[in-house]
Amino acid sequence: MSISIKNQQFHLQTPTTSYIMDIISTGELRHLYYGNKLHQDAKLEHTNLTMVLAESPTKDRTISYYNISREYPSYGRSDYREGSIHIQNDQYGDTIIELEYLSHYIISNCPSLKNLPHIRNTQDKAETLVITMIDKSLGLEIDLYYTILEESDVITRFSIIKNTGSMNLKILSALSLSLDICCDKNWELITLNGTWGRERKLERSPISYGAHYISSTQGNSSSSLHNPFGMLVRPYTTETSGEAIATSLIYSGNHKLNVELTPLDNLRLMLGINPFDFNWSLNPGEEFTTPQAVICYSSQGMGSVSRELHHFVQNRIINPKWKDHQRYILINNWEGTYFDFNEDKILAMAEEAKKLGIELFVLDDGWFGHRDNDFTSLGDWFDYKTKLPNGIKGLSQKISDLGLKFGLWFEPEMISEDSDLFKNHPEWRIECPRYIPCQGRNQYVLDMTRKDVQDYLYEKISSVLEESTIHYVKWDKNRNLTDIMSRELPVNQQKEFVHRYMLSLYQLFDRLITKFPDILFESCSAGGNRFDLGMLYYMPQTWASDNTDAIQRLDIQWGSSMGYPLSSIGSHVSESPNHQTGRYASLQLRGAVALFGTFGYELDPLKIPLKEKEIIKQQIHAFKKYRTLISQGDFYRIQSPETNVCSWGVVSSDKTEALIMVTRILSSANPTMIKINIPNLISSALYSVDELGITAYGNELMNSGLWMPVSNEFIKNTELSCFCSWNRSGIDPCFPDFSGMVFHIKKI
């Protein structure tokens, strides 16, 4: 790790990569190189300023910003591409900016961002380069922050925009990251797209000429439609080879990832707050901080970049309290009861869950106000005594007496029209007075930018958590923003509302988590509608999707793993037939898929057949044995669910053991054998695979591969048999097509 500055060239070195910039004659900060590590004194003298003549900001016709790889681009001075920064001044009304280098300095740590999630300082070393750019005519000063880490190839970027002049400025766009790649169109773009129940489906597309983007305009979420993550890859890049550049935003609101390819084959990648319906008043003496973005390069394939991001998230994003803390095996009552429960029912479920080996019982929606359906009571965070005569305090104590931890569901950002809160404070609802406000799930959204709303929620939630024995909170949000405006903001600041909402929400998170550091918070938003690094900074795990169907979860968890570690992916076993898809799947297959995540159950344990209870006991016992390997091992995607076979697994850092999952999605008559190449073992070491009753050397398993059986008859009876239902076992005609198994590879 080093930052080298020589002859107006800035060279950032991570363990295996180099990121290089320099200053040209106009004072512009130019991007020179990002890729495999170069010599610290590399000069890159062969790099040209431009290829063709074009409009120029100077008398030197060989300089045109349209053709230069710019580090922090703006529009209006010969660059016709979309820029990182777009500002309007109130004196002339134009949006022309020309930034030039002023100074730089180095910080020996990771800077903190006020009211924004950010990478954490740890015992590992970090350095931050701060480059100050100015536009003298506007009185505009922008500090560009680049942080490199001793233990990681991830580089983080953000900027602080300052008004040091006398004019009032309005920020129209302020993106966090821009990367220009000169004279190289040979890239493809990977994004994670979807909708409710189909979150983070991996899509890989060629990049054609023009501008292409994904974004969120949902206001209070990064969205299930387009995750704030992207990856540039070569057409030949695979999981194990080829160049890949990944980027992700540490933010949970509206975002935009933009890729633009010019006919001169110059490529620009940008990521940050979505400029759509956004601006920010920046008066003299004020400053604005963009969210942090991360970027990571590898020449060893998509898997290498993903694992680098996984370690980065674990070590620099997740709260240190929970970084290595094993997640509780939980059961959630929602799909088992929905709103139809009382204290006796919940206690009976909890008692049965304890017998199965469950560690945490989570009471979901319906415990507050007079909530018997989703039309009422959001905002009334007090006990529903008809259902729970002893309240949450009494229920949590009784569940604790059973030897279980207790968790509770909240949806604090929402309000029901049928609630005491709405009767007392109708002005707290977000609405445009000209229209009847839109509903979503029969509910509305609170104006989180209001201090009185924040204080109310803090006090109500704190009261419940203080008087009860609670170890886990599921923080849900089931609708997005509409009718966006605030009674608290003046007319000229209404487009600041969405970002102010997120800043206020982060502030509330910070207050609660500081007060209750021993409570594990899980983020949820109609499933995986807020799966991003911003939420993971406050809540170390996120419910990946309301869709718990094992087959569809292959796509969801595969895509999620591109940028997020297994310990952050909420994955549970639910009932069959599945409540979202109606599909039947064996308990073994459902367990095999859910195993690679936080692991838990979404069902009524009182309704489970005795035979399945025994399988669940075995699954829980196995997860307890292997959960350290699952949460801290290196994750490898082996075979994509786009084929008929999906496989993934984790390998320990010392390469002495691995846990691998294989599923066959559709069976066929006279089935063919399946071969899986096991990654990253010790070539000369001998390994056992007890589930298949074989031993083999590491180089055999990596290169020749491991052959899967054609039926259950060839699977040995081991502690992982509870995750094995392979091909047509003939046990149950409801499960003819979907099969899976988990096996353990151990160095002898």
**pLDDT given at position 124:** 86
Lowest mean pLDDT among 13-22, 47-56, 119-128, 311-320: 47-56
114 or 455, which is more confident = 455
Task: Give the residue-averaged pLDDT of 311-318.
Answer: 97
Describe the chain by its helix, strand, coil percentages, rounded to 5: 20, 30, 45
Contacts for 630 with CB less than 8 Å, ≥ 6 apart: 566, 567, 595, 596, 599, 623, 650, 659
Q: How confident is the model at residue 550 (pLDDT cuts 50, 70, 90)?
A: very high
pLDDT tens-digit series, residues 601-614:
999 999 999 999 99
Q: Where exactly are the structural domains of the chain?
A: 2-320, 639-747
Q: How confident is the model at residue 738 (pLDDT cuts 50, 70, 90)?
A: confident
- Say whether pLDDT at 393 is over 70: yes
**pLDDT given at position 50:** 54
Catalytic residue, from 79, 153, 383, 546: name it. 546
For domain 639-747, give the CATH superfamily: Golgi alpha-mannosidase II (2.60.40.1180)
pTM for the full model? 0.96
Burial class (CB within 10 angstroms; exposed 0-12, middle 13-18, buried 19+) of 653: exposed
CATH number for the domain whose boundaries are 2-320: 2.70.98.60
Beta bridge partners of 282: 169
**Is 41 among the catalytic positions?**
no
What stretch of H or E contains 253? none
**pLDDT given at position 709:** 77
Residue 512, amino acid = L
Residue 235, amino acid = P
**pLDDT given at position 734:** 52
Q: What is the mean pLDDT of the chain?
A: 94
What stretch of H or E contains 177? strand 169-181
Residue ranges with strand state E in 652-738: 657-664, 674-676, 686-689, 694-697, 706-708
- Say whether pLDDT at 49 is over 60: no
Token pair of 304 as six digits: 């290498």
SS3 of 326-385: the string is CCCCEEECHHHHCCCCCHHHHHHHHHHHHHHCCCEEEECCCCECCCCCCCECCCCCCECC
pLDDT tens-digit series, residues 117-132:
999 999 889 999 999 9
**pLDDT given at position 243:** 98
**pLDDT given at position 644:** 87
**pLDDT given at position 728:** 54
pLDDT tens-digit series, residues 623-660:
999 999 999 999 999 999 998 899 999 999 999 999 99
pLDDT tens-digit series, residues 402-456:
999 999 999 999 999 999 999 999 999 999 999 999 999 999 999 999 999 999 9
Spatial CA neighbour of 29 closest among 165, 132, 163: 132
pLDDT tens-digit series, residues 190-219:
999 999 999 999 999 999 999 999 999 999
Spatial CA neighbour of 640 closest among 201, 257, 214, 306: 201
**pLDDT given at position 729:** 44
**pLDDT given at position 671:** 67
**pLDDT given at position 55:** 77
Token pair of 235 as six digits: 């057409």
What is the spatial distance between Cα 366 and Cα 31, in angstroms, rounded to a whole number? 54
36 or 80, which is more confident = 36
- Match 């990596």 to its residue by tokens: 702
**pLDDT given at position 710:** 67
What is the spatial distance between Cα 659 and Cα 81, in angstroms, rounded to a whole number? 47
**Is 180 among the catalytic positions?**
no
What is the spatial distance between Cα 167 and Cα 162, in angstroms, rounded to a whole number? 12
Spatial CA neighbour of 231 closest among 244, 213, 249: 244
Catalytic residue, from 380, 447, 476, 604: name it. 476
Beta bridge partners of 695: 688
Task: Give the residue-averaged pLDDT of 135-151.
Answer: 96
364 phi-psi bin (left φ>0, alpha ψ -120 to 50, beta other): beta
Half-sphere exposure of 424 (CA within 13 A, CB side): 10
